[in-house]
């Protein structure tokens, strides 16, 4: 079970890194980013951060009960 949680957390980290990388590349190249895209990006980042933090604390609480 802990392996699955670690994999999920790793995937969330990778997705977050890709989102941020895409965002900075788009800004750096001077593209005008539509407002709709900005909203979707913000929601994705918030969801990924919540998943990462949630999995971290869940793994931690399960470790203390083992």
pLDDT digit string, tens, across residues 17-41: 888 888 778 777 776 767 777 777 7
In percent, the amount of the chain with pLDDT more than 70 equals 85
Give the mean pLDDT of the chain.
78
Q: Which residue has the higher pLDDT, 13 or 38?
A: 13
Distance CA 40, CA 26 (A): 15
Which residue is listed with tokens 């929601």? 43
pLDDT of residue 54: 84
pLDDT of residue 64: 67
């Amino acid at each position: 079970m802990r392996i699955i949680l670690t994999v999920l957390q790793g995937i969330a980290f990778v997705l977050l890194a890709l989102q941020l990388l895409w965002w900075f590349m788009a800004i750096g190249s001077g593209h005008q980013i539509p407002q709709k895209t900005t909203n979707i990006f913000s929601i994705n980042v918030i969801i990924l951060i919540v998943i990462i933090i949630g999995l971290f604390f869940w793994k931690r609480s399960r470790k203390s009960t083992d």
